[in-house]
Amino acid sequence: MAGKAVVSLTTGLEDPERVTVAFLVAVGAAEQGRPTLMFLTKEAARLALDGVAIAVACEGCPPLSDLVARYAKAGGHYLVCPICFEARALDRQRLIEGAELGGTVPMWQWIGDEGATTFSY
């Protein structure tokens, strides 16, 4: 089995290019068979809601909705900071496939003893 990958994202649609790059990295890892986790904090917590990640960041950039679909198909998982989520009064009923609320302890439990390659955006 390929090693785990964790992509930490703090930015939401205020910087769609940064979000696109983070999703491209996560999709690439997941589609290569790596167990992949996106840790969404701050404004990125909104991206875990149905219908939010739909922007196109730039000419030639893939739509975020396509990247979200590819990530789900490849078995990607999201861990959404519960403090960030609650601070924004977001609706748990709108969480997308593969997303759950969880902080740093569940992230470290997911990583486990074998470690993970990490990226931060």
pLDDT digits (tens, 9 = 90+) for 57-78: 999 999 999 999 999 999 999 9
pLDDT digits (tens, 9 = 90+) for 85-115: 999 999 999 999 999 999 999 999 999 999 9
All residues at 6 or more sequence positions from 26 whose CB lies less than 8 Å from its CB, including other chains: 5, 7, 36, 38, 71, 76
Torsion of CA 10, 21, 63, 111, to 10 degrees: -60
Across 8-35, average pLDDT: 98
- Quote the distance between the C-alpha of residue 59 and its chain's center: 22
- Residue 30: is its pLDDT beyond 80? yes
Q: What percent of the chain stands above pLDDT 70?
A: 99
Report pTM.
Answer: 0.95
